[in-house]
Structure 1
Amino acid sequence: MQAGRRRAVIAAGVIAALTIGAAGCAKSDRDSGTDDNKASGGTFIFAGAGDPKNFDPIFNDDGESFRPIRQLYDTLVTHKPGTADLTGGLAESWENDPTGKIWTFKLRSGVKFHDGTALDATAVCANFDRWFNMKGEAAQSQMIYYTDIFGGFAGSPDALYDNCKASDASTAVLTLKKYKGAFPGAFALTAFSIASPAALKQYDGDTVTQNGDSFSYSAFANEHPTGTGAFTFGGWNKATGEITLNRNADYWGDKAKVDKMIIKVIKDENTRKQELRAGTVQAIDFPAPADRKALAAEGYKVLDRPAFNILYLGINQKNNPKLKDLRVRQAIAYALNRAQLVQTKGPGGSAVADEFLPNTVLGYAPDVQKYEYDVAKAKQLLADAGATGLTLNFYYPTEVSRPYMPNPQEIFTVLANDLQAAGIKVNGVPRPWNGGFKDDVQQFGKQDLHMLGWTGDYNDPGNFVGTFFGRGKVEFGDQAMTDMFDAIGKADATVDQTAKKAAFEQVNRDLASKWLPAVPIWHAPPAVVTTKNVVGLVASPLTAEQFNTVSLTK
């Protein structure tokens, strides 16, 4: 059956696909008047905000890595441009059995990887088997999406994956050990892009080594990424910060209109803006709130994405025993003047977040406990908990801008000042995004507080609260909160949608009042800005733009 009209075998609306494309499509210049089958030629240069980690999808979880990966690879299921609605990718159709445990994918014919090998069901199953059988340092590295979605690797009692079989060349049958509400949406995750098994073998794709606090990846990940995408890999010049992607003339779908795309890493926000004005780049991401109006007034195209994200202040309960006390975590929440932060530092249209998912997602509870700015209450809670004079190490990222965090330094400064006004001493620890901040926070848990966030990958509450708090994580040091893990797990495993909605609403109430592993800060609509001659760019609420649609006018 066609993916767009697939039968919801378990229950009507197993996945409530989010249709928030009106704003994105309306401002995306899709009516460029160009011939969809004709290349416009030229080189499209996009200013990235930070270095990618590598180009092997399964080892990544951040937008700067995923931006080039999305151009190089395809997923089984994808999203309609400008929306979070699901549609066929490498699989032209899919269906599930009544238990939700068996998923059958009908693959497109004639698709080839960049190395010339054929995409078939055996290749698809080889990818699933590869992820499941990761061992040693590869399994210890940044495979966050896999462990969040599939529970664990071979031998783990929490592993969700059972097997994948090729019933014929064009039919892959995936069997899970139990139903999970993430599917089918999770099949569209960039981390689960399908790579060439031949190239993975040739370039030692599973070779990962740990060096102190960081990991090193294979020749496949750094030099020979091989997918089926609209662009092929042309090289990564780390000295100049340029990633080159070449038009794939043999692409199975709509072929890229430009001959080449370069992602030029420019870590400083002002420099990105200057290069846009100089015409040395044609697009920048995550402009500062103050720049959006100015750039629009100058004639640049500002493409707004609907806010489908969350910025939060993470609290690690492991290193400082005072943070295990709920009253201390509540004091931190009351100390933050989030309304003022939104007004002074947030992109236009930003809103204070009271829970960890947007209000368009199933399970949002309007009646959660709210933490209005109250310095006196914060101080009283600290005194009651015997935490007066508390000192906390606050980690924040540098050399990056994120959709939910356009200027980390400025946001950190405001939050740190709020905490210090409530009597909490803050030691700021700036660390580079990749090779520093993410490893320190997510792998080693060195921090007491950290700023981090999330842009939703698909419209399901498990993609937000389940990803953050569905199991013990180093970054929160909350391995003892088994009641939280159990409640989220039960909600995610609930097949009936009415019951699932009620279960996640209660989870969100308890996250605010009983557990508070972090403090939600804001929801912020990020933007993409382009020069006048860029047409066809479709802004994605998931910040998951595909650039094969982009043309350059004269």
Structure 2
Amino acid sequence: MKKGKRFIALALSMLLVGVSLAGCGASNAGSTNTGDKVDKAKETLIYAQGAEPRGLDPALVDDGESAKVMINLYEGLLKYADDSTKVEPSLAKSWEVSPDGLSYTFKLQEGVKFHDGTDFNAEAVKINIDRQIPPQATPDMAYGSFVYGSVKDVEVVDANTVKINLTAPSTPFLNNLAMVMAAPMVSPKALQEKSNNLNQAPVGTGPYKFVSWAKDENIVLERYEEYWGEKALTKNVIFKFIKDNSARVVALNNGEADMIDGIDATVVDQITSAGNKVFQAPGMNINYMAYNTSKAPFNDAKVRKAVSQAINVPELVESLYQGYSETATSVLPTFMEGYDASIAQAAYDPAAATEALKAAGLTNVHIITYTNPRPYNAATGQALAEAIQGYLSKVGVTATIDSYDWTTYKEKVKAGDYDICFYGWIGDNGDPDNFMYLLAHEDPTMNVARYNNPEFNALIEEGIKAPAGADRNAIYTNLEKIAAEDAAWLPLSHAQTLAAYSPKVQNFLYHMTGVTPFAGVSKE
């Protein structure tokens, strides 16, 4: 343990020197004056997360680890309020919606420049949207159809006015435009130079700009001094990747990280006893187990239900999360429009499960899972898979588990070679469509159950078009009922939002959408 601590300390010391040489650190980095060292420390925020981002192009990634970095680099036309998913102006200072709900006209902020010095304007908005809708959209733009699926075309009215026309009304459209996936604006010049892929060289308009990415180590950002809005309080931000939960806690308690995520109940006392703070809030998320419905044995709903009956979900949630997650009775969080407390999944009944699975001839299943913590599952996918393995052994089913790091896991899910996998997400926009829509998605990296129910899909389309209110809420309640009956997923839990930070850090925010904006964060 002491050796590990020395290694982390040495690595971060070298990193901060590197930041200084890159122009991000204090000008007196070589001074031995204690005051200079303190000032330099104040200029850098170090955030340790449990997994590395998949990339930094908002059109090409769909994971929360990427989102935490991207929220600091990019902006969309709209943004969410700090304490909710209420939309507020961002790169668009105002907007109007046509009476028929088919046209949205946005007035843009003036004088905004991308990090490469090029102008943000209506043409840039058009280019960003056009790249994510047919015919330009590519298969790896997972969120493009979610955000822009109803877009017919984009018109440049003038340099600071853009009009987006839809094929059909879309109630969640404004909320979608505030998301950190697909919706943020990237530099058209950079897209041209980088062959339409900014995963490794992001260029946005946000309060921080990209400096470097050392694979498996860290991402370094620095304050964008020409930012159009209120400038970031802290000069540098370093996202450090520490996969092991306990190692992140050690880094925080030793002062080698200022903030960490992916914590669970087992480390809260360790964190607070060291004088650090825990950020805790209700979570807008879902953690679930998915059956591969595209092949035997789980193309049969009866077999899916039987396996679900073998799992004592309340017991599992209490054991793994120890009061920091609530048992999920539905896909939707309990505070979301459309949630219905009367809806229930297959009830725990090991005797019935044993009988049904024996009749079906199911004796073995192949489970894949991820090794790192996730915001919706701080216990790690490995621990969750092993818990499920234990329940299945009691009903005569042997489960084999293959575990992968998060990036590899995403590829394995895409390949589809599994019977059961685990997934989840933090809600992107506060709308129930954002939770139910994935069960109708054609992309297997989103709809990991590969579920296809025409009745369900048709209701999804109705829900998108329906005006906000009781009738729309009833559509999502009906979708919950269908999902529970078909048992393509076994909803497990809704995690509380948990993170930890040093008392020196001021105004730390872990937004309910799972992102960590640092522009307003400082360090004493």
Alignment TM-score, normalising by the size of structure 2: 0.88
Q: 1:433 to 1:309 in 2, by over 3 A?
A: same
Q: Does 1:418 align with 2:419?
A: no
* Residue identity matched to 1:148: F
- Cα 1:186/1:262, change in 2 over 3 Å: same
Q: Does 1:197 align with 2:198?
A: no
Structure 2 equivalent of residue 456 of structure 1: 427
1:342-393 per-residue CA deviation (whole Å, 9 max, x = no partner) reads 212116341110110101111112221333322112123324xx32333211
Matches within 5 A, 1:268-307: 268-307=244-283
**Equivalence map 1:150-229=2 (5 Å):** 150-151=148-149, 160-191=150-181, 192-205=183-196, 218=197, 220-222=198-200, 224-229=201-206
Q: 1:499 aligns with which of 453, 465, 471?
A: 471
Who is 1:262 aligned against?
238
In structure 1, what is the Cα distance between the partners aligned to 2:449 and 2:513? 28
Structure 1: which 5+ runs fail to align? Answer: 1-38, 152-159, 206-217
Answer with 84-93 or 482-491: which moved more: 482-491
- What SS is found at the alignment partner of 1:244? strand
Q: 2:459 aligns with which of 487, 508, 511?
A: 487
CA distance in 2, matches of 1:111, 1:544: 23
Deviations 1:113-142 (A, max 9, x none): 00111111111111011112465xx7222x
Deviating above 6 A after TM superposition, structure 1's stretches of 4 or more consecutive aligned residues are: none
The secondary structure found in structure 2 opposite 1:483 is helix
Between stretches 282-291 and 490-499, larger displacement belongs to: 490-499
Per-residue deviation, residues 28-62 of structure 1 (Å, max 9, x unmatched): xxxxxxxxxxx995111000211111111111111
- The aligned residue for residue 333 of structure 2 is 358
Q: 2: CA distance between counterparts of 1:243 and 1:353?
A: 35
Deviation per residue, 1:184-226 (Å, 9 max, x gap): 1100111211001111112212xxxxxxxxxxxx4x321x210
1:141-173 Cα shifts (integer Å, max 9, x gaps)? 2x221123434xxxxxxxx32111121111111
Query: Does residue 87 in structure 1 map to residue 88 in structure 2?
Result: yes
Q: Which residue type is aligned with residue 352 of structure 1?
A: T
Residue 496 to residue 82, structure 1, CA distance change in 2 (3 Å): closer
On the 8 A contact 1:404/1:455 being kept in 2, the answer is no
Aligned AA for 1:167? V
Aligned to 1:15: none
Aligned positions of 1:460-479 closer than 5 A: 460-471=431-442, 473=444, 475-476=447-448, 478=450
Question: Which shows bigger deviation, 386-395 or 332-341?
Answer: 386-395
1:343 paired residue number: 318
Letter of the aligned partner of 1:78 in structure 2? K
**Matching residue of 1:518:** 489
Could you say which residue in structure 2 is the equivalent of 1:378?
A: 353
**Contact 1:311 1:453 (8 Å CA) reproduced:** yes
C-alpha spacing 1:390/1:486, structure 2 compared with 1 (3 Å): farther
Q: What is the DSSP-based 3-state SS (H/G/I as helix, E as strand, rest coil) of the residue aligned with 1:304?
A: strand
Q: Equivalent pairs: percent with the same residue? A: 28
User: Alpha-carbon deviation of 1:180?
Assistant: 2.1
- How far off its partner does 1:77 sit? 0.9
Does structure 2 retain, via aligned residues, the 8 Å contact 1:309–1:404? Answer: no
Within 2, Cα distance between the matches of 1:87 and 1:130?
25
AA aligned opposite 1:86 = V
AA matched with 1:146: G
Aligned counterparts of 2:138 and 2:307: Cα–Cα separation in 1? 34
The Cα shift of 1:402 comes to 3.0
Native 8 Å contact 2:253 2:271 kept in 1: no
Q: Which amino acid aligns with 1:493?
A: K
Distance 1:107 1:462, change over 3 A: same
Partner of 1:325: 300
Aligned counterpart for 1:527 among listed residues 486, 498, 501: 498
How far did 1:98 drift?
2.1
* Among candidates 349, 367, 371, match of residue 398 of structure 1: 371
Any idea what SS the aligned residue of 2:157 has? strand
Counterpart amino acid of 1:417? G
Matched AA of 1:226: V
Identify if the C-alpha distance between structure 1 residues 551 and 480 changes in structure 2 by more than 3 Å, giving closer, same or farther.
closer
Give the aligned partner of residue 343 of structure 2: 368
CA contact under 8 A between 1:148 and 1:467: conserved in structure 2? no
* Counterpart residue type for residue 196 of structure 1: S
Contact 2:311 2:391 in 1 (8 A): yes
Give the direction of change, closer, same or farther, for the CA distance of 1:96–1:236 in structure 2 (3 Å limit).
Answer: same
AA of the residue aligned to 2:423: L
What is the total number of aligned residue pairs between the two structures? 483
Residues in 2 aligned to 1:335 and 1:537: alpha-carbon distance in whole angstroms:
41
Q: Deviations over 1:54-78 (max 9, x none)?
A: 1111111111111111111001111
Amino acid at match of 1:350: S
CA distance in 2, matches of 1:256, 1:403: 29
State the partner residue of 2:522: 551
Q: Is the CA contact 1:286–1:526 (under 8 Å) kept in the aligned structure 2? A: no
Matched, 1:230 2:207: yes
Distance in 2 separating the partners of 1:196 and 1:402: 30
Output the CA distance in 2 between the equivalents of 1:347 and 1:193: 37
Shift of 1:316: 0.5
Determine the C-alpha separation between the residues in 2 that align with 1:367 and 1:348. Answer: 22
Could you tell me whether the CA contact under 8 Å between 2:343 and 2:481 is conserved in 1? yes
* SS state at 2:173 partner: coil
- Given that 2:253 and 2:274 are in contact with CA atoms closer than 8 Å, whether structure 1 keeps it comes out as no
Relative to structure 1, the CA distance from residue 146 to residue 174 in structure 2 (aligned partners, 3 Å threshold; closer, same or farther) is same
Amino acid at match of 1:543: G
Say which of 311, 329, 334 aligns to 2:287.
Answer: 311
Aligned equivalent of 1:20: none
8 Å CA contact retained: 1:317, 1:476? no
Higher relative contact order structure (alpha carbons within 8 Å, sequence separation ≥ 6): 1
Separation in structure 2 between the aligned mates of residue 347 and residue 179 of structure 1, nearest angstrom: 43
SS, match of residue 479 in structure 2: helix
Provide the rounded CA distance (Å) in 1 between the counterparts of 2:43 and 2:236: 7
Q: Which residue of 1 aligns with 2:138?
A: 139
- Deviation, 1:426, is 0.7
**Alpha-carbon distance change, 252 to 75 in structure 1, aligned in 2, over 3 angstroms:** same
Work out which of the residue numbers 504, 513, 520 in structure 2 matches 1:542: 513
CA distance in 2, matches of 1:422, 1:264: 42
Task: List runs of 5+ in structure 2 lacking aligned partners.
Answer: 1-39
Aligned-partner residue type, residue 432 of structure 1? D
CA RMSD after TM alignment: 2.0
TM-score (norm: length of structure 1):
0.83
Distance between the aligned counterparts of 2:491 and 2:227, measured in 1? 42
1:437 alignment partner, one of 409, 418, 425: 409
Call closer, same or farther: CA 1:113–1:500 in 2, change over 3 Å. Answer: same
Distance 1:92 1:250 in 2: 19
Is the Cα–Cα contact under 8 Å of residues 400 and 433 in structure 1 kept in the other structure? no
Residue of structure 2 in register with 1:214 after alignment: none
Distance 1:447 1:542, change over 3 A: same
Partners of 1:60 and 1:301 lie apart in 2 by 31
Which has the larger displacement, 359-368 or 263-272?
Answer: 359-368
